[in-house]
Structure 1
Amino acid sequence: MTMKKESYWYNTHIASFPPISKDMQADVTIVGGGISGITTAYLLAKENINVVLIEADQLISGTTGHTTAKITAQHGLIYDELIQHFGKEKAKQYYTAQVQALQQIKKLINEHQISCDFSEEDAYIYTNDDNYVSKLKSEANAYQELDIPGSLVTHMPLDIPMKLGLKMDKQAQFHPVKYLASLVNELSKNNNIRIFEQSPATDIQNSESDQPIVITKQGNVIQSRHVVIASHFPFYDMKGLYFARMYPERSHLIAAKTKQKYPGGMYISAEQPIRSVRATNSHDDQEIWLFGGERYRTGHAKQQKEAFHKLEAFANQHVVIDTFINQWAAQDLTTTDKVPYIGKLCKSTPNVYIATGYRKWGMTNGAIAAQLITDDILNKQNPMSDLFSPQRFHSDPDIKKLISMNATTAKHLIASKLAIPMNKIDELKANQATTILAGINKIGVYRDEASDLHAIDTTCTHMGCEVTWNGNEQTWDCPCHGSRFSVTGEVLEGPATKPLNPYDTSELEDH
């Protein structure tokens, strides 16, 4: 069996919708068709709010469709840190919000009888590093302080090496595409909801009545009282400077059929390299094991090259593998204090909301975002809003993290400008790319399966860093702020909103 280079979750039918083709008005415009956007549309629809939802590509094609799909409040070693930086009350709010999100998802599954492989599982963080044993004990103390059901363990159902583990009781997992595809079907029956795919948003402007207007790539405009930016990275970032307040990471997953039964539970290592293990059922009720990890900053080609091989080696070391069936990667954003930004974009744009920075825990945080933003639009008070507010700032750890993040960005910006490529086009094989010097310009060149060349200026259109080639996924990735582009330069991930500039391949014959 040939391994598919796509998410395992794309094994179910998703309703399709046309691109936007005319100007329109709505109460709320939602930009982004992942778990945040779809759930927000669903909650608003129940309140008879008129909604237009637009998606740049296809629904559920972004990070939501590439997740491990754990519905859990156990987000690594987070609660001791939250207590230290935010205090006990805010840390408790974070946990409570995650639990409420899990319950909301479970309620919707039961209400609509959604078949999405939902199961309750205990979640485990484990370590094989002596330095992390004390950290796990501190986290366990935080569990006790916050009344989180859980305990330290010296053995887990999954037979892998561990020195100490921390269990959180009764968490959950599901098939995210099956779940959201069912919610989309519910939305399609509601006359208050209009959905459009292949309709990227490019800008937001104010109307004469001070209502925000979303401009689409097609040139059509949507005027509404509120705009919800649920597009992973806020495409409209003129005032929030979110590109400097978050950092992007790629992580990898492989799906495999094995020769042994899965023992139950969800597992993740405390230390790097991250190793995540869970299982799900295939369409023929065969167990599929999912192995995740190998995180790295977006644009770091050297680290991504061996990512899948390392995950396969880990799987083969601990499980009798029958065959690997899927491999894929996901991009996630982490804020300076590790808590998502959910709420009003900034004070000067009170009717524009964002939901971003989920730090790889998008299933619960996406549901939290939908509830928080819906409540705000309906003028309902939500006690969690201050915790997640994008306007918050904490001197520690925000300043330390900002300095570290932007030092890394500056390093890559300078290094990429000084590096002089010495590669040759005639050495390129099919589905390979390289960077060459054409005069004073750095040009990225890709050769497709038909031996045709595609060339782009490697200068990222966001802030001028040099993009690097991602051979695993055949994309051009920016190491500074995480923008990603196709082989022909189209934007795949923000913060960039404009494509890479094309280069005439006829001028490359002598290179």
Structure 2
Amino acid sequence: MTPSLDRRSRSLWMTVDVAPNARAMEGDQSCDVVVVGSGIAGISTAYELALEGQRVIVVDRGPIAGGITARTSAHLAPLCDDLTSAMIRLRGEDTAKLFYESQAAAVDRIEEIQKKEEISCDFRRLDGYLFQALNTDSAIIDDELEAVRKVGAPVHRLVGVPLRHCKDQHVLRYPRQGTFHPLKYLAGLAAAIESKNGRFYAGTVVQRIEESEGAVTVTTDRGTISAQAAVVASNSPVIDRFALHTKMAPYRTYAMAFAIKRDAIPDALYWDTLDPYHYVRLQPGDGRSDFLIVGGADHKTGEADDADVRFEALEAWTRNLIPAAQEVTHRWSGQVLDTIDYAGFIGRNPGSRNIYVHTGDSGQGITHGVAGSLINSALILGHKTKWADVYEPSRKTPSGIGNFLSENATAVKNFAEYLAPGELSSIEELKPDHGAIVRQGLSKIAAWRDVSGRLYARSAACTHVGCHLHWNSFETCWDCPCHGSHFAVDGTALNAPAITPLAEAKVGG
């Protein structure tokens, strides 16, 4: 893909080159474990395995750590972001407690590694505050206090947080949360992996993963990789079409950074009780000022194309509660995969012997990624881990059937869109620097015209299972509402589960 056609937003973190030595793979390779995907889950897993003497290869279709991890807000908060009370109702106290313990262990592991490897990544422990949203009932705070105490997490009930209009709001304070600069941390991990003879291959598209007795073969567009085991940590898995995808749903989430004077508000994590909720943190800047990062305004992927409105709402909310916020410096969006029962799918891929998966991180991708690295590395090495059952990919959660039916209604509705008219009646109506779905006979075309007038016309069917794509004007890409694939305007697959590009469409004739 021509670099200029990847027009997606850039986050605050993206100035860091995580693996500057990484190149596209050349020819066939071999190793002990191949990791597909170079986000927090993939690189952390490679690190844990390299520590144990395993020869590892990390391969990614794009830049190393250039995917969804680079779009995080990097809160290190171990409690279920859908509320611990909800997790207890769905999965029970024991599982909720193990979930909390695994997520807390992930924060501990990050702290340990950045000290051991001497990684300068702005890591710090701080308090987290869950506060009652304005004009809402405080009962949710009472319910959550009881639930958090049940799982054994430290918590304190307060009144008021240091945000405007919030002095009388009911609050839970969680000590020993954390935060850091995610890409600085991963750059340190990548250097440590390379020092242990690990290898990174960027710009290398994985096309197929197969296994035979005791071996795995990963076929890429640059050659094959032979290994004893594979870990698929590509945000959404590229190895099956239905087994896991029907048990999670993609959501688009938004974040923005403001300049703010140092010490204008206490350094902490803040999030409210709305649904979707707002979340706030600080990031050190140049010594005199910091960045204030605010996120939220989530919606199901592909079901809205109104990013400007959502950013306006986020900015208004921020300026109302944090008047010290100055000019906006960055705006970006990312994608989270929400599972039907609040925990990711981590462990041996259903039906496989030597292929392991990591997916379904919800809004806790950083702690999920590190917890998953501890679980998958232990399973590969034959070690025991008490958290494996919480995240077992083949698990059944009967109490989550309502969530399952709700999320999978998207696919049913989506396929019906092929019967609807296009958004424009003809290609000629498409303006420069705009994208739209256009019907041509029995087919739907995903069309984008650049500022010079050049037309890019591709099939509107996602190459994963054929779902109808939607235009994302903020990220200038095509989004799949069913399972979260993204495509550039020239059809290049940008995000899993899709592997192959969109087919070129002939216009007219």
Please give the range of the TM-score, normalised by the shorter of the 2 chains.
over 0.9
- Could you say which residue in structure 2 is the equivalent of 1:306? 309
Among 69, 89, 93, the alignment partner of 1:84 is 89
Which amino acid is 2:15 matched to?
N
Which amino acid is 2:326 matched to?
D
- Could you say which residue in structure 1 is the equivalent of 2:144? 139
- Could you say which residue in structure 1 is the equivalent of 2:192? 186
Residue aligned with 2:251, SS? strand
Among 410, 419, 422, the alignment partner of 2:412 is 410
Q: CA deviation at 1:305?
A: 4.8
Hey, what's the Cα distance between the residues in 1 that align with 2:286 and 2:224? 41
Identity fraction in percent = 29
Deviations 1:100-136 (A, max 9, x none): 1111100111112211111211111222266652222
Q: CA deviation at 1:263?
A: 1.9
Deviations 1:19-47 (A, max 9, x none): 11111221111001111111111111111
Hey, what's the Cα distance between the residues in 2 that align with 1:495 and 1:53? 18
- Bigger shift: residues 419-428 or 163-172: 419-428
In structure 1, the gaps of 5 or more residues are none
How high is the TM-score relative to the length of structure 1?
0.93
Hey, what's the Cα distance between the residues in 1 that align with 2:385 and 2:103? 14
Q: How many residues align?
A: 498
Instruction: Indicate if the aligned counterparts of 2:162 and 2:265 stay in contact, CA closer than 8 A.
Output: no
Which amino acid is 1:373 matched to?
N
- Could you say which residue in structure 2 is the equivalent of 1:287? 290
Work out whether 1:327 is the aligned partner of 2:331: yes
Q: CA deviation at 1:300?
A: 1.5
Residue aligned with 1:350, SS? coil
Hey, what's the Cα distance between the residues in 1 that align with 2:249 and 2:72? 18
Q: How does 1:41-440 map to 2 (within 5 A)?
A: 41-128=46-133, 133-161=138-166, 163-191=169-197, 193-207=198-212, 209-218=213-222, 220-238=223-241, 241-258=243-260, 261-284=264-287, 286-318=289-321, 319-346=323-350, 348-397=351-400, 399-440=401-442
**Larger relative contact order (C-alpha < 8 A, sep ≥ 6)?**
2
Hey, what's the Cα distance between the residues in 1 that align with 2:56 and 2:192? 14
Q: CA deviation at 1:303?
A: 4.5
Q: 1:109 to 1:502 in 2, by over 3 A?
A: same
- Could you say which residue in structure 1 is the equivalent of 2:13? 9
Instruction: Indicate if the aligned counterparts of 1:77 and 1:270 stay in contact, CA closer than 8 A.
Output: no
Work out whether 1:486 is the aligned partner of 2:488: yes
Instruction: Indicate if the aligned counterparts of 1:423 and 1:434 stay in contact, CA closer than 8 A.
Output: no
In structure 2, the gaps of 5 or more residues are 1-7
Q: CA deviation at 1:288?
A: 0.6
Q: CA deviation at 1:160?
A: 4.6
Deviations 1:218-255 (A, max 9, x none): 3x1111111100111010015x6211111000100011
Q: CA deviation at 1:276?
A: 1.2
Instruction: Indicate if the aligned counterparts of 1:344 and 1:352 stay in contact, CA closer than 8 A.
Output: yes
Which amino acid is 2:12 matched to?
Y
Residue aligned with 2:228, SS? strand
- Once superposed, what is the RMSD of the aligned Cα atoms? 2.0
